[in-house]
């Protein structure tokens, strides 16, 4: 069962945020959801993180000192136990009924860290070797996704695909926000291959995040996402998440939405039914020249349908 909260219960859903090494206070509030975020070496010290969900987040060196973690959830999160990476620091955290699911967390904590609910036994508490991801997954592959070298991150995604363990799908989601297009591309391909059936956790969120690549800034990534539409046949609500970026207040987001619509309409004219003509007409008059240009091309594609 997917334990991720339904979207209409989110307060603020943060996706793919790179907050690595951020020391100033982050805008996270109770009930927020952080998906595929890089929180390495971030300070969450003293924040009220009650009922916050961390889904597929990188947590090496993340500081939770004095943070309130009542009913917080860590789902598919990862902090490597490799000596090159500092552990997650829960010392001084205030917690009750914290749930940890399908995660591999190497952490420091006080002798007693409140009441943890260990779901699926995939949680590593200190030196307990029986409750962590298999070494071949955590050490040989997942840890390498944290590398500063893009070739290492690329090869790590390949390795995770070969290992064929869907528990790592949320962490692979972090690579879909990578700065390098080839890393994003191989991560998307690997996630497509891993989805023999629904992902164990957060299936709908993962699918939406994957198919946001329909609007990726690189054409090869967009093409790979288009091919996965044919292979995986995601429901329309998943595809609408990519198209609806056309409504964004940010021009780059609007461009992404238009690019996603172009890819879908090029694939099959049936997807043109997901578009709202009035939105396209408004984008043809957009203040941003690049938005107008892409929207004009979308209009041409629609005329050919």
- Distances 235 to 132, 189, 203, 240, 243 between C-alpha atoms, Å: 33, 19, 12, 9, 13
- Predicted confidence at residue 142, as pLDDT, reads 92
Based on the fold, state whether residues 101 and 139 are members of the same structural domain: no
Does the structure show a pLDDT above 50 at 296? yes
**Residue where one domain finishes, among candidates 93, 108, 132:** 132
Burial code (b: 16+ CB inside 10 Å, e: under 16) for 65-79 equals eebbbbbbbbbbbbb
User: What is the domain extent for residue 243?
Assistant: 235-305
Based on the fold, state whether residues 183 and 84 are members of the same structural domain: no
Domain with 65 in it: what CATH number? Answer: 2.160.20.80
Based on the fold, state whether residues 2 and 122 are members of the same structural domain: yes
Domain-located, residue 142 = yes
- Mean pLDDT (whole number) for 201-226: 97
Domain-located, residue 225 = no
Domain-located, residue 229 = no
> 219-257, pLDDT tens digit by residue?
999 999 999 999 999 999 999 999 999 999 999 999 999
Measured at the CA of 105, the angle between CA 166 and CA 80, to 5 degrees, comes to 85
d(CA 292, CA 140): 46
How many independent structural domains does the chain possess? 3
**Res. 69 pLDDT band, cuts 50 70 90:** very high
Domain with 139 in it: what CATH number? Answer: 1.25.10
Neighbours of 240 (CB within 10 A): 15
């Amino acid at each position: 069962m997917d334990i991720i909260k339904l979207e209409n219960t989110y307060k603020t859903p943060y996706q793919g945020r790179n907050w690595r090494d951020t020391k100033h206070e982050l805008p996270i509030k109770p009930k927020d959801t952080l998906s595929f975020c890089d929180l390495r070496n971030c300070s969450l010290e003293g924040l009220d993180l009650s009922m916050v969900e961390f889904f597929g987040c990188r947590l090496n060196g993340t500081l939770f000192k004095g943070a309130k973690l009542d009913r917080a959830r860590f789902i598919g999160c990862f902090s490597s136990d490799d000596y090159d990476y500092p552990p997650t620091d829960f010392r001084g955290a205030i917690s009750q009924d914290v749930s940890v699911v399908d995660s591999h967390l190497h952490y420091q904590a006080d002798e007693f860290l409140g009441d943890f609910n260990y779901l699926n036994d995939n949680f590593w508490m200190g030196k307990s070797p029986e409750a962590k991801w298999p070494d071949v997954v955590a050490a040989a592959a997942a840890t390498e996704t944290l590398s500063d070298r893009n070739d290492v991150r690329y090869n790590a995604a390949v390795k995770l695909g070969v290992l064929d363990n869907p528990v790592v799908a949320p962490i692979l989601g972090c690579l879909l926000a990578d700065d390098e297009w080839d890393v994003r591309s191989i991560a998307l391909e690997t996630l497509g291959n891993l989805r023999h059936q629904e992902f164990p956790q957060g299936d709908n969120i993962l699918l939406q995040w994957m198919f946001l690549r329909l609007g990726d800034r690189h054409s090869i990534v967009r093409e790979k996402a288009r091919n996965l539409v044919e292979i995986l046949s995601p429901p329309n609500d998943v595809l609408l998440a990519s198209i609806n970026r056309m409504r964004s207040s940010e021009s780059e987001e609007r461009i992404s939405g238009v690019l996603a619509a172009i890819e879908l309409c090029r694939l099959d004219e049936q997807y043109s039914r997901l578009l709202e003509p009035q939105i396209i007409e408004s984008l043809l008059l957009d203040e941003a020249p690049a938005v107008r240009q892409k929207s004009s091309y979308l209009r041409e594609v629609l005329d050919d349908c």
